[in-house]
Amino acid sequence: MQVRIPVKRQRSFNEEMKMSILIVTGIEGATNCAAAVSAQLKIEVEAVQGRKAALAALRRREYDAVVVDETMAECDPAAVEAIWSRAGLAIPLQINFALSGAARLVREIRAALHRREREQTLAHRAATAAIENELKTTIAGLLLQSQLALSVSDVSSPIADKLRMVAELACNLRQQLNIHAVTHADVAP
Residue 40 maps to which CATH number? 3.40.50
Nearest to 68 by CA among 89, 91, 44: 91
Q: How much is the pLDDT for 7?
A: 52
Query: Which residues are 92's β-sheet partners?
Result: 66
**Quick check: is 95 in a domain?**
yes
Q: Is 50 exceeded by the pLDDT of residue 183?
A: yes
Number of domains in the chain: 2
**Average pLDDT over the chain, rounded to an integer:** 83
Return all residues near 46 (Cβ < 8 A) that are at least 6 apart. Answer: 2, 3, 4, 5, 20, 21, 22, 23, 34, 57, 63
131 and 96 within one domain: no
Q: Is 50 exceeded by the pLDDT of residue 49?
A: yes
81 and 171 within one domain: no
- Cα 138 from chain centre: 29
Q: How confident is the model at residue 155 (pLDDT cuts 50, 70, 90)?
A: confident
130 and 55 within one domain: no
**Quick check: is 26 in a domain?**
yes
Residues 62-79, mean pLDDT to the nearest whole number: 91
pTM of the predicted protein model: 0.67
**Quick check: is 139 in a domain?**
yes
Q: Is 50 exceeded by the pLDDT of residue 108?
A: yes
Return all residues near 61 (Cβ < 8 A) that are at least 6 apart. Answer: 20
Residues 126-146, mean pLDDT to the nearest whole number: 87
Domain span at residue 9 reads 2-100
- Of all residues in the chain, the percent with pLDDT exceeding 90 is 39
**Quick check: is 87 in a domain?**
yes
**Quick check: is 111 in a domain?**
no
157 and 82 within one domain: no
96 and 6 within one domain: yes
Residues 70-94, mean pLDDT to the nearest whole number: 91
77 and 15 within one domain: yes
Q: How much is the pLDDT for 46?
A: 93
Q: How much is the pLDDT for 16?
A: 45
CB atoms inside a 10 Å sphere around CB 152 = 10
Q: How much is the pLDDT for 184?
A: 64
128 and 51 within one domain: no
95 and 154 within one domain: no
Q: Is 70 exceeded by the pLDDT of residue 31?
A: yes
Q: How much is the pLDDT for 186?
A: 55
Burial tier of 172 (Cβ tally within 10 Å: 0-12, 13-18, 19+): exposed
Q: How confident is the model at residue 115 (pLDDT cuts 50, 70, 90)?
A: very high
Q: How much is the pLDDT for 178?
A: 78
**Quick check: is 117 in a domain?**
no
